[in-house]
Amino acid sequence: MKKWFIILFLLVSLQGFAQEKIAITEDDYNNTKIEMADVMRSEGKIYVLVGIIGIVFAGILVYVIATDRKISRLEKLLEEESGINSK
């Protein structure tokens, strides 16, 4: 039964397309304007995006530092215990 589901999903996935192909023109190569960024900047949303990215990065940094401190504390505790047991 599991094999039939896999075959069914494979057949269905072969029919799905993410995008249709669009021909690339010379204007596409010469385009240096980024519409999404310009629109977000004009509406002030780019600053919200940069702020959220900064908050997420700061959160990851705090998490990594806290984890490093906990690991260092555990390593020190392990060294102390192994030093006591070896004497």
Q: Is 16 domain-assigned?
A: no
Question: Contact 76/70 with Cβ under 8 angstroms?
Answer: no
Q: What are phi and psi of 25, to 5 degrees?
A: -105, 175
CA pair distance 19, 23, nearest whole angstrom? 12
pLDDT at residue 15, rounded to an integer? 65
Q: Is 13 domain-assigned?
A: no
Q: Is 75 domain-assigned?
A: yes
Instruction: Write out the H or E segment, with its range, that includes residue 81.
Output: helix 45-86
Structural domain boundaries, residue 64: 26-86
pLDDT in tens, 14-61: 666 656 777 888 877 787 777 777 787 788 888 888 999 999 999 999
Q: Is 5 domain-assigned?
A: no
CA pair distance 26, 83, nearest whole angstrom? 71
Number of domains in the chain: 1
Report the 10 Å Cβ neighbour count for 68: 10
